[in-house]
Amino acid sequence: MAVTDRVKQILSWYSSENPGTLTNLVRLLNHGALAGTGKLVILPVDQGFEHGPVRSFAPNPESYDPDYFYQLAIDSGCNAYAAPLGSLEQPAAKFAGQVPLILKVNNSDTLAKVEPCSAITSSVEDALRIGACAIGYTIYPGSALRNQQYQDLREITLEAKRKGLVVVVWAYPRGTGMSKQGETAIDVTAYAATISAQLGAHIIKVKPPTAFIEQEEAKKVIEKYQIPVSTLTERIRYVVQSCFNGKRIVIFSGGEAKSTESVLGDIKELAAGGAFGSIMGRNAFQRSRTDALKLLADVMTVYKNA
């Protein structure tokens, strides 16, 4: 399809990247129900690795099958499907070319209780081999091991950019550096998104932040300058602004599975705040296929009308 003015505007923010990376950005932005709008809804499934199969797939046993996610992403018109190597690779030949792929190159399990740090579980070479448009990488700002994560990301990013791939960073603040509540605090979320942009991410994924403020110094500034962070819409706007004044694609996760009403309520606020889209895992695949398709369609409609 043609490249819309909005997509061209987004590409103009990435003018330091080579044409290969721009091409893969277009592939993500020009696929599915939101093609051309500059908005993205992405289906991510790393829960098998991150939470184990019981917690992840038991609510919807069809989802044990890797085909299920490909088919769901294709049929729902998601812009892309993101997963660890195994899930992507197993049916990759079968679904080749039907939906843009994001290879999640690091992953963390929950069998060891240690300072958060994902293992690097696949590579740029794997991404090319299976035909992915992008690599995905999780950082845990707040972890005592964050530096190793940033350094590994730097190397992967350099290679990915040279090979024309897009770099998507999942920024999940956690670790000994912060309180549990702080992990989704507005100041911390905006900070984590900024770090991702500084590390060279093309697309940044964070959780929708709460109004809680973790850092004392941030609190003072927010109060002094009366930065509006009381509604989710305001907070989303602030996070997007924190990423090069909106010149990076910032998308938001849905978090734990919850009611349709609640999900759509959140999405409306995200869209109103200027979010570039959503990445919906459990809320999509832990519903029945019919319900998931309905929900994703509704979510896409919200973004299309934003």
Q: Which of residues 138-167 bind a copy of itself (CB under 8 A)?
A: 141-144, 146-151, 154-155, 158, 162-164
Using CB under 8 A as the binding rule, the residues of this chain from 45 to 64 that contact a copy of itself are 48-49, 51-55, 57-59, 61, 64
Count residues near a copy of itself (CB under 8 A): 116
CB 133 to a copy of itself: min, Å? 9
Q: Residue 251 — left, alpha, or beta (φ > 0 → left; ψ -120 to 50 → alpha)?
A: beta
If the CB atoms of residues 155 and 298 are measured against a copy of itself, the closer one turns out to be 155
Which member of 6, 9, 119, 228 binds a copy of itself (CB under 8 A)?
119
Q: Half-sphere exposure (CA, 13 Å, Cβ side) for 169? A: 29
CB 139 to a copy of itself: min, Å? 10
Question: Residue 228 interacts with a copy of itself (CB under 8 A)?
Answer: no
Question: Residue 187 interacts with a copy of itself (CB under 8 A)?
Answer: yes
Question: Residue 284 interacts with a copy of itself (CB under 8 A)?
Answer: no
- Report the length, in residues, of the chain: 306
Question: Residue 32 interacts with a copy of itself (CB under 8 A)?
Answer: no
Using CB under 8 A as the binding rule, the residues of this chain from 243 to 262 that contact a copy of itself are 244-245, 247-248
| Residue among 116, 113, 109, 107 at smallest CA distance from 175 | 116
CB 216 to a copy of itself: min, Å? 10
Question: Residue 184 interacts with a copy of itself (CB under 8 A)?
Answer: no
Which member of 128, 257, 272, 293 binds a copy of itself (CB under 8 A)?
128
Q: Annotate the chain with three-state secondary structure.
A: CCCCHHHHHHHHCCCCCCHHHHHHHHHHHCCCCCCCCCCEEEEECCHHHHHCHHHHHCCCHHHHCHHHHHHHHHHHCCCEEEECHHHHHCCCCCCCCCCCEEEECEECCCCCCCCCCCEECCCHHHHHHHCCCEEEEEECCCCCCHHHHHHHHHHHHHHHHHCCCEEEEEECCCCCCCCCHHHHEHHHHHHHHHHHHHCCCCEEEECCCECCCCCHHHHHHHHHCCCCCCCHHHHHHHHHHHCHHHCCEEEEECCCCCCHHHHHHHHHHHHHCCCCEEECCHHHHCCCHHHHHHHHHHHHHHHHHC
Distance of CA 197 to the CA centre of its chain: 13
Question: Residue 120 interacts with a copy of itself (CB under 8 A)?
Answer: yes
Of the listed 39, 161, 205, 207, which one is catalytic? 205
Using CB under 8 A as the binding rule, the residues of this chain from 71 to 110 that contact a copy of itself are 74, 84-87, 89-94, 96-98, 107-110
CB 299 to a copy of itself: min, Å? 21
Question: Residue 23 interacts with a copy of itself (CB under 8 A)?
Answer: yes
Question: Residue 208 interacts with a copy of itself (CB under 8 A)?
Answer: no
If the CB atoms of residues 100 and 302 are measured against a copy of itself, the closer one turns out to be 100
- Is residue 94 flagged as an active site residue? no
CB 137 to a copy of itself: min, Å? 13
If the CB atoms of residues 44 and 142 are measured against a copy of itself, the closer one turns out to be 142
Which residues are identified as catalytic?
205
